[in-house]
């Protein structure tokens, strides 16, 4: 037979217990404050509805039900020793306050938790990296006060249904290094992000990169995955003099910094691609619309490869339908539909020509249009070719016509 605990008040009441083991039903009403000086252990038969405020000074274990029905529900984890948050069941919180004075990790997240409203990162690092727990921010939930002394070391999950942006409260090794996403209004999705204070070159070789990339940050990187949804989004990452490489900091003052992504082919091989970026010198950050998910970091860009209007041409084509470099990509060309693209072989024979070139359907896929008799309108042979792009755009001085000619390489 279950034991039922009912704590109900009209005025604020306070209760302190040394240890709490719950096997039955427990209801904590608004305006009620409970302090658990030792471990809180909610057994698999336990059912706790917290609509008041619980202060937990040691470990929290939940094998049963731990939830809320009121927007006044708060759980404070605070203490002077490392605290474990674990159990077989997902613990549902409305508000969480983290306040622990010890060095990382102050909170070992071994179990799964969800947050409906807010996490206040007061003191102490919440670590699920290496512990296996998960933290899910529900739609409309946020966080506050995250800094170098308090953040999440590990993966953070965000569910978005009505929000249009979210900053992941992530970091590592004593540094808060968030990633921020912005999605169109009305879009939905589930996103996961984590920060690593490590050199990405160890697993994602910096020698494999597109032609516009000059130097890839070799001290830190982020991951961003989309678990559900299909909306495009913008990603914001920042540079920091304490965590970013010296070349990135130098470029923030007199160069160009973009976000780059490790792009994986179907055969498992990968390379770094430039995702573009707009630098925000006030917030020391870069924002861009991304074309995929995975591993991201910052990089310096060769300014000579950036055309007026912020166009970038990727001069490598591998037409094998693996989803990577299947066509001659001119990033940003969709903004300038008054354009003409011509491709010739090494002898100057025109093998492709089109107007209104774009990044969707009307593009060069390494296939001759039939003007080159030797190819008979089929897939062009492996080798070096040459392109000429002519486009019109509106500059600050007025309309301009830009012509860019260079080589491209086809690798079948």
pLDDT tens string 8-46: 333 345 555 566 899 999 999 999 999 999 999 999 999
Domain boundary among 264, 288, 305: 305
Return the ∠ at Cα 177 (arms to 174 and 178), rounded to 5°.
140
Q: What pLDDT was estimated at residue 155?
A: 98
Tell me how far apart the alpha carbons of residues 182 and 179 are, in angstroms, rounded to a whole number.
Answer: 10
pLDDT band for position 209 (cuts 50, 70, 90): confident
Q: What pLDDT was estimated at residue 15?
A: 55
pLDDT band for position 318 (cuts 50, 70, 90): confident
Q: Which residues contact 111 (CB under 8 A, 6 or more apart)?
A: 61, 62, 85, 86, 87, 88, 89, 90, 91, 133
Q: What pLDDT was estimated at residue 266?
A: 62
71 and 214: one domain? yes
For tokens 């290094």, name the residue: 177
Q: Which residues contact 205 (CB under 8 A, 6 or more apart)?
A: none
124 and 225: one domain? yes
Tell me how far apart the alpha carbons of residues 191 and 362 are, in angstroms, rounded to a whole number.
Answer: 31
299 and 376: one domain? no
160 and 283: one domain? yes
Domain of 341 in residue numbering reads as 308-410
Tell me how far apart the alpha carbons of residues 34 and 156 are, in angstroms, rounded to a whole number.
Answer: 29
256 and 347: one domain? no
Provide the token pair at 220.
């830190």
Query: How deeply is 196 buried, as exposed, middle or buried, from its count of CB atoms within 10 A (0-12, 13-18, 19+)?
Result: buried
Segment 325-336 shows an average pLDDT of: 89
Domain boundary among 243, 274, 305: 305
Task: Select the more confidently predicted residue: 285 or 323.
Answer: 285
Segment 278-307 shows an average pLDDT of: 92
Which residue, among 403, 381, 384, 383, has the nearest Cα to 392 in the 3D structure?
403
202 and 283: one domain? yes
Q: What pLDDT was estimated at residue 376?
A: 52
Query: How deeply is 211 buried, as exposed, middle or buried, from its count of CB atoms within 10 A (0-12, 13-18, 19+)?
Result: middle
pLDDT band for position 124 (cuts 50, 70, 90): very high
pLDDT band for position 104 (cuts 50, 70, 90): confident
Task: Select the more confidently predicted residue: 235 or 368.
Answer: 235
Provide the token pair at 24.
């039955």
Tell me how far apart the alpha carbons of residues 175 and 194 are, in angstroms, rounded to a whole number.
Answer: 13
DSSP alpha helix (H) spans, 147-302: 246-254
151 and 76: one domain? yes
Q: What pLDDT was estimated at residue 8?
A: 37
Tell me how far apart the alpha carbons of residues 302 and 213 are, in angstroms, rounded to a whole number.
Answer: 6
Q: What pLDDT was estimated at residue 314?
A: 83
Distances (CA, A) of 244 to 156, 282, 289, 361, 391: 22, 17, 22, 38, 37
Which residue, among 332, 333, 334, 232, has the nearest Cα to 292 in the 3D structure?
232
55 and 181: one domain? yes
Classify strands 383-395 and 134-137 as parallel, antiparallel or unpaired: unpaired
Which residue, among 202, 219, 197, has the nearest Cα to 299 in the 3D structure?
219
Domain boundary among 241, 271, 305: 305
Long-range contacts of 128-132 (CB under 8 A, 24+ apart): 128/152, 128/153, 128/154, 128/155, 129/153, 129/154, 129/155, 129/172, 129/194, 130/154, 131/105
Q: What pLDDT was estimated at residue 186?
A: 85
pLDDT tens digits, 46-67: 999 999 999 999 999 999 999 9
For tokens 């039955």, name the residue: 24
Q: How does the average pLDDT of the chain come out, rounded?
A: 90
401 and 316: one domain? yes
For tokens 């300038």, name the residue: 336
Region of 150 (left: φ > 0; alpha: ψ -120 to 50; beta: rest) is beta
Query: How deeply is 72 buried, as exposed, middle or buried, from its count of CB atoms within 10 A (0-12, 13-18, 19+)?
Result: middle
Half-sphere exposure for 253 (CA within 13 Å, toward CB): 6
Report the percentage of the chain scoring pLDDT > 90. Answer: 71
289 and 319: one domain? no
Q: What pLDDT was estimated at residue 4?
A: 39
Neighbour count for residue 1 (Cβ, 10 Å): 4
Which residue, among 188, 182, 190, 183, has the nearest Cα to 228 in the 3D structure?
190
Segment 175-186 shows an average pLDDT of: 94
The answer to whether 233 and 290 have CB atoms below 8 angstroms apart is yes
- b/e for 127-146, b at 16 or more Cβ within 10 A? bbbebebbbbbbeebebebb
Map residue 125 onto helix, strand or coil: coil
pLDDT band for position 370 (cuts 50, 70, 90): low
317 and 277: one domain? no
Q: How many domains does the chain have?
A: 2
For tokens 């040691």, name the residue: 58
pTM: 0.81
Q: What pLDDT was estimated at residue 267?
A: 64
Q: What pLDDT was estimated at residue 276?
A: 87
Region of 112 (left: φ > 0; alpha: ψ -120 to 50; beta: rest) is beta
207 and 188: one domain? yes
Tell me how far apart the alpha carbons of residues 35 and 140 are, in angstroms, rounded to a whole number.
Answer: 28
**Where residue 363 sits, what CATH number does that domain have?**
2.60.40
């Amino acid at each position: 037979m279950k034991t039922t605990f009912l704590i109900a008040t009209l005025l604020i009441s306070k209760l302190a217990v040394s240890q709490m083991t719950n096997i039955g039903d427990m209801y904590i009403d608004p305006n009620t404050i409970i302090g658990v000086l030792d471990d809180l252990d909610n057994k698999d038969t336990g059912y706790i509805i917290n609509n008041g405020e619980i202060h937990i000074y040691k470990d929290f274990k939940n094998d049963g039900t731990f939830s809320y029905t009121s927007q006044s529900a708060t759980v404070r984890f605070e203490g002077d020793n490392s605290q474990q948050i674990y159990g077989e069941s997902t613990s549902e919180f409305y508000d969480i306050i983290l306040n622990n004075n010890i060095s990382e990790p102050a909170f070992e997240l071994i179990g799964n938790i969800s947050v409906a409203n807010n996490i206040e990162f007061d003191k102490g690092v919440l670590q699920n990296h290496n512990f296996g727990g998960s933290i899910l921010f529900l739609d409309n939930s946020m966080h506050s006060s995250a800094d170098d002394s308090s953040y999440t070391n590990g993966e953070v999950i965000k569910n978005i249904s009505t929000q249009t942006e979210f900053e992941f409260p992530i970091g590592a090794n004593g540094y808060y290094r968030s990633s921020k996403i912005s999605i169109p209004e009305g879009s939905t999705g589930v996103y996961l992000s984590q920060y690593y204070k490590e050199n990405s070159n160890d697993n994602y070789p910096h020698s494999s990169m597109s032609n516009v990339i000059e130097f890839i940050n070799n001290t830190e990187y982020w991951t961003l995955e989309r678990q559900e949804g299909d909306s495009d989004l913008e990603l914001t990452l920042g540079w920091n003099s304490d965590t970013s490489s010296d070349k990135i900091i130098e470029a923030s003052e007199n160069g160009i910094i973009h976000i780059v992504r490790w792009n994986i082919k179907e055969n498992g091989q990968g390379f770094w691609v430039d995702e573009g970026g707009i630098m925000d010198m006030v917030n020391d950050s870069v924002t861009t619309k991304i074309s995929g998910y995975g591993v991201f970091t910052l990089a310096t860009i060769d300014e000579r490869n950036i055309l007026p209007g912020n166009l970038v041409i990727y001069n490598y084509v591998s037409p094998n339908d693996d989803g990577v470099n299947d066509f001659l990509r001119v990033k940003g060309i969709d903004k300038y539909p008054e354009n003409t693209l011509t491709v010739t072989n090494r002898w100057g024979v025109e093998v492709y020509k089109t107007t209104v070139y774009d990044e969707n359907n009307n593009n060069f896929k390494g296939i001759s249009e039939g003007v080159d008799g030797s190819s008979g309108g089929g897939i062009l042979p492996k080798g070096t070719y040459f392109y000429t792009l002519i486009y019109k755009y509106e500059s600050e001085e007025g309309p301009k016509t830009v012509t860019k000619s260079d080589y491209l390489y086809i690798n079948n």
